[in-house]
Structure 1
Amino acid sequence: MIHPSIIKKQRLYLGIMIMIILTTLLIAMSSGQASLPVSRLIPTLTGAGTFRESFILFSLRMPRIVITLLAGMALSLSGAILQSVTRNDLADPGIIGINAGAGVSVSIFFIFFSVEAGAFVYMIPFVGFIGALVTAALIYLFSYSRTEGIKPMHLILVGVGFSTALSGLMVVIISSQEAEKVDFIARWLAGNIWGDDWPFVFALLPWLIVCIPFTLLKANRLNLISMSESVAIGVGVSIQKERLQLIVSAVALAAVSVSITGGIAFIGLMAPHIAKRLIGSRHQLFLPLAILIGGWLLLVADTLGRSLTDTMIPAGIVVSLIGAPYFIYLLLTSD
């Protein structure tokens, strides 16, 4: 039973976060190399804008904004799941190699398989999911001990090793390819939001519609699993079944997001930690807040990257500038 005052506090934080996101949306819609003043946003949104204003807002900025919000939400929830299932506060799909696994499969698919543009958009998330799932299975296998289960620090080290090896593999794959394909992989590695059109939104959305509610419904199971295996087994939880389902959900959320946005790390690390510090570690409380924080973080990173200089800075680089020091801080302070 959650105390009513805690629920009230959570709702307050959720309301504040929604207001912050709405404010950031206004800034994001008016920011960029093409001028679109804030005063023209409402007329344009209501259909009273010029052709140029409507094209900038609805064809260029809105799909990119929606993609960054959805991908940030998915990455933050994926990180929260991995941290709870592995009982490791340093777990993040970008750090432990899941994103790199999706990247390798997307790269191979892009380079060696020729499909129509329309089919490509909808196949990319599935291809990324397969690659990430295989990578996650290998990381889990190498990190698991029959006597101790998942070793938290071992998981991080194995994951970092896989991430580095897979990133190197991507470089090898593109070393002899034509310039256009090399440019695509380079943009992916840097975390440049390349899937910035409406079809990519529709390709990403169904995965999130399934995985996010599924994970939220499993919040109480996550509470038990994050404590210890003995506690979870003692109250009748099927550890292996629940862990497998949740890991598949985490992998799906991360893979389909990075397959469209590129190699973005640290969102899944930072957002759950910030949410836990604000509202506590019960999953029913912090997961909804972490989802909003993750979406906001990636939206801010992409908006800054589009606005600070004439040359667009990839969102993945902006996030890394914030996330890497935070990761080092957690690494130094973890038990």
Structure 2
Amino acid sequence: MLTAQDVDRFEAARPRLEAIAYRLLGSASEAEDAVQDTFLRWQAADVDRIEVPEAWLTKVLTHLCLNQLTSARARRETYVGQWLPEPLLAGDPMLGPADTAEQRESVSYAVLTLMERLSPNERAVYVLREAFGCPHREIADILDLTEAAAQQVYHRAKKHIADGRTRTEVDEAAARRVIEEFLVAATSGRTEPLVRLLTEDAVSVGDGGGKVPARAKAFEGARAVATFMRGLFKPSKAKLALAGGSPDIHVTTANGAPAVLAVVDGRVIGVMCVEVTTEGIAAFLNQVNPDKLDRATRRWAAGDHGEPLFSAY
């Protein structure tokens, strides 16, 4: 039977556990479930015999997430269209620590997307080391590896992430200016201004989860992406009906970087995470699956976000 002190000890660890689980799973709702399952195991344990509760909780949570990641691979084979992580808006405690460049990058939308290419063990080692600064010895104990093996897995994971991020991103203020310029171009009805803002190999990926129309394959190449974006912002009665009204468009922050938000009557219906590099916009990662926007809607409703840039349709 847990004492009030035991429950308080767990609750003090909850924000860190949720931040780890979100980075591992890419889903806020799944992260909350994993942390709740960890609490049930804490409740069933002889906590007086646990010498370092934080290490014990981290190990239990990580293994729950590894099991989830293994089963998720099979589920995502039947997922309708492209799968993208759930975006989190600025100030969400599940984003976790952001004191170092490594911590900020580990929760960026681009890196969360790249982490889908890692094995479950690689992802766990990368997250625990980069975002939470866990020593290799502790990571080895969590994953039941030797310390040398944990170091090898970490270096392999870090190389996979680095190989996927071959361009230098610009700072937040510069990225915001580029995104605002992009929005002006996208609503102009002309393709050429958009093409000039994109890298030659730009991509646009959309996740509708089978609930909102989204192309099953990514748009690839500056002209294809520009044509798609021009059409996306072109008003039509069909889009108005699908959205449930004319979306207000805001530039805000998601996962630590500027992003475009579409909001209808206080409900977030789309988050467009934009990867802005020194060479231009390299990627649009568009989350429109309503199942992955509930938390963003709650966060948006609780904040002060000012006037929209414009209404889309």
Q: If the length of structure 2 is used for normalisation, what is the TM-score?
A: 0.27
Higher strand share: 2
Higher helix share: 1
The answer to which structure, 1 or 2, has the higher relative contact order (CA under 8 A, 6+ apart) is: 1
Q: If the length of structure 1 is used for normalisation, what is the TM-score?
A: 0.26
